[in-house]
Amino acid sequence: MPRSKNGVHHDSNFSSNVVTIDVGGQLFQTTKQTLSSVGSKSFFSNIISDSSAAVPFIDRDPELFSLFLSLLRTGNLPSKAKSFDMQDLIFESRFYGIEDLLITSQSNPNQFDAFNLEKSLILPLNGRDSPSAIATTPYGSLHVAHGSKITSFDWSLRRKSTILTQFMAVDSLLALSPALAAAGATDFSGLQILDLDKGTVIETLNWENVTRSGSTVQAIGASDEHLFTSFESSRRNSNCIMVYSRGDDLRPVATVGHYEIFGADLDSAIPATKLQWLSSHNLLMASGSHSGPSGVSGNIRFWDIRSGNVAWEVKEKLDCFADVTASDVLSSMFKVGVSTGEVFMADLRNLGGEEGPWLCLGDGKKAVNGKKEGLGCKVESHGSQVFCSKGGDVQLWSQVLIDSRKREGDERVFRKNLMGRGKDLGGKRIGNLCFGGNKMFLTRKDEQCVEVWNSVKSY
């Protein structure tokens, strides 16, 4: 269709593509292409298919319609939308069948800007219990476990529901969808699949261990196709990782890392307390640590779930990880040392080398002593950034682009940046840290709320 550079159409037949709509007594004009951009299931498909010459009338608010027309044209709401309540926009978008487009414009993960974060909202929780676990969906729906309850918020962070679970406290929580979650505890047998809208247990998954005792949940993870659960027997003498299909039946498809503990075999006694799927390598990262009289020790294993074999393993003794994460985007693994509190990086492209995998990104000369400066620290990756909580603040680590002509070998450089537009986050120690949509969520010790840090100025 011919058009000028400024978007003005000059085709003499273009008038046949122009659609006039009367919304609440106000006339709007647009094109069939604009209305059809949201697919055949929207309200606008009926207008396009109407062959009558009459101007269609819609008995709705014309001001809200003008916002959605801009959304259809550009993929974004205009700045004047700030004067409207988000719940009004959501309700109206459902009438037109374009809520998914509204969600994308407001919670698109690609809009996350780690260098432009601002605390935008505090989500209060009922009761006296602080959050023990939080989980998000890709477009920002949020589930928060506090005490025996789980409170859910939709993508606009409107409180949806609070349900009471069978757990005294939820230690592991994974969002399977805006309405479904997997939850478990270290003192309660079984992984429960919960319908958070109805407040019901859909299914309970258990691991049948040799001693036929209960099986408590130590960690939960997921890929697009599988659900992973780290179980430990109630007698704490065996552990394994169960792999379930994410189909309707959640059937078990594999068991990896099955260890029966004999005598003083400490390495086998450590269950995986964090699970993370690396799609670029088709490997499951499972990590766990143990604190004893001689200090903290642990292991990080990368499992090939198809063969059930360990593809690569790191045994931690000196400055063992307080927390560890991996990044597909950066092809790297990151840990925060429990003794030094420093952040370390290991290049996943060079696994299995003769030298130790870790490169200290901070003060590499800090001595490892009896102190545990990294105790309670969390490290998570999101996109091309790495976030490490230390006390009440969050460090942001970013890879520095280096001129390939000056790079020596596979040298990689990371730099620490300030969060929150140069402002310290401040406050009590951070307990949980996760990401969803274009937002960062964190909780603090002894506080009954969730902080929301937004990276864009929403609508």
pLDDT along the chain (459 residues), means of 10: 46 68 94 87 81 84 96 90 91 92 86 86 94 93 96 94 95 94 96 95 90 89 96 90 91 91 69 95 94 86 95 90 94 94 91 75 73 91 92 89 57 76 67 92 95 73
How far is the C-alpha of 37 from the C-alpha of 398, rounded, in Å? 37
**pLDDT for 1:** 41
pLDDT of residue 139: 84
pLDDT of 141-170, one tens digit each? 999 999 999 999 999 999 999 999 999 999
Which helix (H) or strand (E) element contains residue 124? strand 118-124
Question: Which pLDDT belongs to residue 219?
Answer: 97
- Taking the C-alpha atoms of residue 385 and residue 453, their distance in angstroms, rounded to an integer, is 15
Predicted confidence (pLDDT) per residue in 79-89, tens digit: 899 899 999 99
pTM: 0.86
Residue 111: DSSP 8-state: G
Contacts of 430 (CB under 8 A, 6+ apart): 378, 389, 391, 392, 393, 394, 442, 443, 444, 445
Question: Residues 178, 137: contact at Cβ < 8 Å?
Answer: yes
Residue 273 near residue 287 (C-beta atoms within 8 A): yes
How many helices and strands, by DSSP H and E, does the chain display?
6, 31
**Contact in structure between 243 and 256 (CB atoms under 8 Å):** yes
54-66: b (≥16 Cβ within 10 Å) or e = eeeebeeebbbbb
Q: What pLDDT sits at residue 410?
A: 59
* pLDDT value, residue 4: 42
